[in-house]
Amino acid sequence: MSAAETATAAVEPGAAAAEATGRVEIAGVHKSYAAGPVLSDVSLTVEPGEVLALIGPSGSGKSTLLRAINHLETIDAGSITIDGDYIGYERRGDRLHELPEKRVLQRRTRVGMVFQNFNLFPHLTALENVIEAPLALGRSSRADAVARARELLASVGLADRAEHYPRQLSGGQQQRVAIARALALDPDVLLFDEPTSALDPELVGEVLAVIQRLAHHGTTLVIVTHEIAFAASVADRVAFLDGGRLLEVGPPERVLRDPEHPRTREFLEKVL
């Protein structure tokens, strides 16, 4: 059995997904940098267990929106909640106030993040990368964390790579370790920021197979991707952003095959 087949056969969602948590509500979000706005009045809801693919040209605001869900980016206006709770803010009266970093970190454990460049700790083995967060947060004993990490590494086809360091792994293997690490805290939502963009073409399939398995098990996923065929096969809905605005959202068979907005149609004609 290949690594991709092993990964596809074994990934299981966390308990949060089974309880139908993970509703993401984005309401009127604005974000600007010195050069100008990057998100303009974006409103979107992702239901528990839904897979949403964010597509659009470079610089359209996709990654900024994804990072705002996890409060890795602050927003200038609007709100983002997960199951009704803010990640980086709390409401006092009619205003939102940013939380201290310690409380942000506590709330951020509800959201797993997989970055395009893996972001593994180079001095830790694959196993140590996966157990680092549960141990640091006091969520489990070392024995339990190690047992869970071995299960997760096996689920992404890396049972035999647990003691390897990132430098000893291929890009696809590193990204699969990153996915196992994101699952270690049983998050309500998993965010993927162009998870295959840093991979050689022959390694893309093994990572996409793992993500597809997660999608089939009811984990709430928000995926920024340039892999249009993958978005078509895995997403429940596709959202198209351009110039910081959400121009179109709907099922992939409509958005990708018969888009309503002319800018969506123009983009797809160039990339397909």
Average pLDDT taken over every residue of the chain: 91
Range of the domain at 85: 3-122+187-271
Q: Is residue 222 domain-resident? A: yes
Return the pLDDT at 11.
Answer: 55
Backbone region of residue 227 per phi and psi (left: phi > 0; alpha: psi in -120 to 50; beta: other values)? beta
Q: Is residue 176 domain-resident? A: no
pLDDT band (50, 70, 90) for residue 95:
confident
| CATH number assigned to the domain comprising residue 9 | 3.40.50.300
Q: Is residue 223 domain-resident? A: yes
Q: 36: burial class by Cβ within 10 Å (0-12, 13-18, 19+)?
A: exposed
> Per-residue pLDDT tens for 153-169?
999 999 999 999 999 99
The answer, yes or no, to whether residue 171 has pLDDT greater than 70, is yes
The answer, yes or no, to whether residue 40 has pLDDT greater than 70, is yes
Q: Is residue 138 domain-resident? A: no
Q: Is residue 173 domain-resident? A: no
For the chain, percent of residues with pLDDT exceeding 70: 93
* Predicted TM-score of the model (pTM): 0.89
What value does the mean pLDDT take over residues 48-67? Answer: 96
Q: Which two tokens stand for residue 122?
A: 């180079």
Structural contact between residues 74 and 98, judged by C-beta atoms closer than 8 angstroms: yes
Q: Is residue 90 domain-resident? A: yes
Sign, Cα dihedral of 235, 237, 238, 241 = negative
The answer, yes or no, to whether residue 8 has pLDDT greater than 90, is no
Return the pLDDT at 135.
Answer: 96
The answer, yes or no, to whether residue 261 has pLDDT greater than 70, is yes
Q: Which has the higher per-residue pLDDT, 14 or 42?
A: 42
CA distances from residue 56 to 167, 181, 267, 270 in whole angstroms, order as listed: 32, 28, 7, 11
Give me the number of domains the chain comprises: 1
> Per-residue pLDDT tens for 175-211?
999 999 999 999 999 999 999 998 998 899 999 999 9
For the chain, percent of residues with pLDDT exceeding 90: 78
Q: Is residue 47 domain-resident? A: yes
Nearest alpha-carbon partner for 110 in 130, 132, 139, 135 = 139
Q: Is residue 214 domain-resident? A: yes
The answer, yes or no, to whether residue 264 has pLDDT greater than 60, is yes
DSSP string, 191-236: EEESTTTTS-GGGHHHHHHHHHHHHHTT-EEEEE-S-HHHHHHH-S
